[in-house]
């Protein structure tokens, strides 16, 4: 509601410092939970888990988006964009550990996997244009002109169906 008023910019300036404080507090609290020595000793499992999560989530999300009728390129971009584990996993892991649903080592590995997947998200976002260009060159995705022609044909098809 405030964003539509004249005070929106002023309010954002006031709230931004508090938002940054809470973000720093969140990251510091997650950092206190992680045992780096344990993760370093199990770095092979940690990296394999992160890669597996990113690949599986990308494939599943790409398939779901494609099933809604979007192009494979759009579905792939959305799949990569949502490939990381969300912050809510920290809450779920904490509750599962508290209720003894998962053991200590599994908790630490899942915590590290979640944290590392969140850290790799900016890298994945930087790689999306490179991967899509590679996909166009390898003919996994249609070129830009092909996508535009496909969208025009779809719009014409929808228009003709309504008539």
Q: Structure tokens of 5?
A: 């008023």
Q: Is residue 111 part of a domain?
A: yes
Residue 10 domain-assigned?
no
Residue 152's pLDDT band (cuts 50, 70, 90): low
Cβ neighbourhood burial of 151 (10 Å; 0-12, 13-18, 19+): exposed
Residue 86 resides in a domain: yes
* Residue 154 falls inside a structural domain: no
The string of pLDDT tens digits covering residues 4-14 is 777 777 777 88
What's the pLDDT band for 156 if we cut at 50, 70, 90? low
User: DSSP labels for the chain?
Assistant: -GGGSTTHHHHHHHHHHHHHHHHHHHHHHHHHH--HHHHHHTHHHHHHHHHHHHHHHHHHHHHHHHHTT--HHHHHHHHHHT-SPPTHHHHHHHHHHHTTSS-HHHHHHHHHHHHHHHHHHHHHHHHHHHHHHHHHHTTSS--HHHHHHHHHHHHHHHHHHH-
Our count of domains for the chain comes to 1
Is 148 inside any structural domain? no
Closest of 110, 119, 120 to residue 38, by C-alpha: 110
* Domain assignment of residue 72, given as a range: 35-141
Residue 21 domain-assigned (yes or no)? no
In a domain, 3, yes or no: no
68 within a domain of the structure (yes/no): yes
pLDDT in tens, 54-95: 999 999 999 999 999 888 888 989 999 999 998 888 889 989
Geometric angle at alpha carbon 82, from 66 and 99, rounded to 5°: 120
């Amino acid at each position: 509601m405030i964003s539509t008023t004249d005070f929106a910019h002023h309010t954002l300036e006031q709230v931004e410092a508090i938002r940054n404080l809470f973000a720093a507090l969140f990251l510091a609290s997650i950092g206190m939970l992680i045992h780096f020595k344990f993760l370093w000793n199990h770095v092979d499992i940690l990296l394999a888990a992160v890669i597996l999560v990113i690949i599986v989530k990308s494939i599943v999300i790409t398939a779901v988006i494609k099933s809604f009728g979007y192009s494979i390129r759009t579905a792939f971009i959305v799949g990569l964009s949502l490939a990381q584990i969300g912050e809510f996993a920290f809450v779920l892991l904490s509750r599962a550990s508290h209720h003894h649903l998962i053991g200590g080592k599994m908790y630490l590995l899942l915590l590290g996997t979640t944290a590392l997947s969140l850290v790799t998200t900016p890298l994945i976002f930087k790689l999306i244009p490179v991967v899509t260009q590679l996909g166009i060159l390898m003919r996994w995705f249609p070129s830009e002109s092909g996508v535009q022609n496909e969208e025009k044909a779809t719009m014409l098809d929808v228009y003709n169906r309504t008539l």
